Chain A
């Protein structure tokens, strides 16, 4: 199991990358900045599990909170509205 690099409250950015394969980091969130809401624990890497590999070592998974007004240019709503997404550590910097 890999060590968790981030803690709740840390500001993080989601990497921008568009490789082939099965990925659980939605397009709309790549390149966005947010805050760690919680550390979920460590889980098998879905990118590897999808290819019939073990997904080990388990990767730390985080819930990251983003302000909707940052994510969507035309967002209409409360400026404090958020979207919270689970993101694996290797997509965060």
Chain B
């Protein structure tokens, strides 16, 4: 029976987290400062990073080509580190739409988009994105023409994926910053497309 204001006991797993962390710090394996820095670093990683990459590709055709050829190096041009893992950018065209999933776990371009949403890690997304992408996309409100080819990318190993959506009409002359503001996380996963209004 809990009283308002009374401290709630930890669950088994929260006990484990605290204990593991304290043991690692006691043993000099990690420091509290390192942990705090890592937390802050993760907080900084948001889809805004990925959106900058997309916006640059929209305004610069040569950047777009470099991005498609070597995603990691292109991101480094923008001062975005893509440590260890490799980035593959896949481009939406009028003929083809790209969608990303990790059926085996929850691999995701965290360095550009931050922590993945719950649904990306869910059983239903992971099972059905590969086998019935159109149905899944329609659940996200994205209805594609029958003639559009869907390319589903299963992130099974060391590569990480970013969808480069098509630049919508009605954005002519926009600054890179304004363009980036319409590129949402879901557009870069491939379950949505950017809208100009």
Contact = CB atoms under 8 A, between A and B. Distances in A.
B106 interface: no
- Where chain B touches its partner, the secondary structure class is mixed
B134 to A, nearest CB: 5
Contact of A28 (B86, B130, B133, B155): B130
Interface in A12-30: 24-26, 28
Contact of A82 (B146, B151, B157): B151
A37 to B, nearest CB: 10
Q: Identify which of B104, B130, B132 gathers the most chain A CB atoms within 10 Å of its CB.
A: B130
B154 interface: yes
Please classify how large the interface on chain B is, using the bins under 10, 10 to 19, 20 to 34, 35 or more.
20 to 34
Contacts of B152: 68, 81-84
Nearest to A38: B88
B156 interface: yes
Nearest to A42: B158
Contacts of A26: 103-104, 154, 156
B43 interface: no
Interface string A50-93: 00000000000101000010011001111011111111100000
B72 to A, nearest CB: 10
Nearest to A72: B131
Nearest to B99: A83
A31 interface: no
B171 interface: no
B160 to A, nearest CB: 10
A81 B156 contact: no
Given A24-B104, A26-B103, A40-B86, A77 B155 contact: no
Interface of A: 24-26, 28, 40-41, 43, 46, 61, 63, 68, 71-72, 75-78, 80-88
Given A61-B159, A77-B150, 7 more contacts: A63-B88, A63-B159, A68-B150, A81-B152, A83-B152, A84-B152, A84-B153
The 4 closest A-B pairs by CB, nearest first: A86-B157, A81-B150, A85-B154, A83-B152
